[in-house]
Amino acid sequence: MDKEVRFSDDALQLVNRITSRYPEGKQKSAILPVLHIAQAEFDGWLPVPVMDYVAGLLRMQTIEVYEVASFYSMFNLKPVGKCLIEVCHTGPCWLSGSDGLLSYIEKKIGIKPGETSPDGMFTLKTVECLASCGTAPMMQIGEKYHERLTDEKCGEILDACRENGERVTHWSVKRIQNDKA
């Protein structure tokens, strides 16, 4: 990253509000919501300088931030496309056809899990349980669950994403504020 890493005023105010909930010296307990804010602020991913910045804000070791960010699939450690597609491949989804759905998506957009399309529109990930076992197979794009998917229904969703062209992320600072983080 070429520019100085710094949260917007709104994001920093939200971080301060969240960390104020914890006793002095226990700010690192706010790591998950602060990483969500960081990811929302920096194009949907967490480059090392951003994780270092978070570590400084929370007064914790950088390795602790790296460990948390690399453990959870909801955090991206490399740039992602405008539309992040997460396909659940846990047992119930797999039994209901998530492998076939994943193959369909791979062919439709021309990438494999962990890759981003050359135009920067789509990133494809497989993830563990998204807690929608009864409506499998399913995928998540941004905050929205898409359930009981067929190839046709999935194709329509992906076409709509491409047509819209907007960034679809899990979190935004505004959404986090509205959820009274």
Residue 40 has pLDDT above 50, yes or no: yes
| Matching residue, tokens 């962990």 | 114
Domains, in order of start, for the chain: 9-71 (1.10.10), 83-164 (3.40.30.10)
More confident residue, 30 or 172: 30
Q: What is the pTM (predicted TM-score) of this model?
A: 0.81
160 touches 29 (CB < 8 A): no
Q: pLDDT by residue (tens digit) across 85-98?
A: 999 988 888 999 89
pLDDT at 181: 47
| CA angle 167–169–172, rounded 5-degree value | 105
When pLDDT is cut at 50, 70 and 90, the band that residue 107 belongs to is: very high
Rounded to 5 degrees, φ, ψ at 144 are: -95, 130
pLDDT at 21: 92
CA–CA gap between residue 22 and residue 6 (Å, rounded): 22
